[in-house]
A and B are shown apart, each in its own frame.
Chain A
């Protein structure tokens, strides 16, 4: 295989994969946020993040 073509493939394929993963994660987060909005605080995913500094 042509060297430059393979080099381009080695950069483009991981970038494409990274973009797919980011899109998929954003889609999942959007769905969870929508569910939180519709079910209020009782929604199973509606957990407050831990206080970052005061529990150590």
Chain B
């Protein structure tokens, strides 16, 4: 098998088979948890294949378009999730993506950071790595603690038990979400959440699903299966805008994104079907374990730079 230099001619040579297999694994996770898989793919591209940070972010966003679309259509067929949440969040999210993308390009133009070890790393890499470690660790820890706390509770199935964000934030206007059994949810709250997720998408190349899923599960009290089916439309729209911005800046490798997509689109279908058959508690723990593993891998890479 011929090895290919994918990343706009400046990345390393990689095997297309390895890229397809990475895509398959990331797609499976993406479909299973209703996330785009960017939180896995961006680090893998950067550290596994040696793709430059800005191209890793842009390419991860581009390939998520395909997986997000496939996951969204699959979840609609399975009637999981509430697309109204996505539609309310999308305005804030698109502004956030733009802001995040601008920050990333600003950081890319700054002088590299000199580490105590004498090495220098691009400032954008330092910010992306730092954000990944802090956010992923916090999410994993939170889900583990919540699942441990609720270990004796009876199984709740797909029933929604309204959480603090649904009941305590009373900022009008409100919206009813009948598909997931919530009423009078604050529209401004959802819009600002969209902005925050969009901002992180622009900076880190993640679709935002990895953050949205715990917020929906614990903030709004939605079951893991419905949470997985809720963010995917927003994810799709967010990554479309992020990709356009990155492509205009010349930081998307379409051949690399499409090779990843060959594997990830199939994996996303299998993942969505797996979610349909797994218990919510198992899904929560699997999600937390995965996020923790990604955080540890990222932390290892960061520490290696310092030592």
Contacts and interface: CB of A to CB of B under 8 A. Distances in A.
Contacts of B63: 14
A21 B269 contact: yes
B280 A53 contact: yes
Contacts, number: 90
A51 to B, nearest CB: 9
Interface string B152-190: 000101000000000000000000000000000000000
Interface string B95-106: 000000000000
B65 interface: yes
B247 A55 contact: no
Interface in A1-56: 3-4, 6-11, 13-15, 17-19, 21-22, 25-26, 49-50, 52-56
Contacts of B281: 56
Secondary structure type dominating chain A contacts: helix
Contact of A10 (B73, B155, B244, B276): B244
B265 A10 contact: no
Given A17-B66, A21-B266, A52 B240 contact: no
A55 B276 contact: no
Interface stretch (B40-48, B108-116, B206-214, B253-261): B253-261
B258 A6 contact: no
A10 B62 contact: yes
Nearest 5 CB-CB pairings of A with B: A18-B69, A7-B247, A53-B155, A14-B66, A14-B65
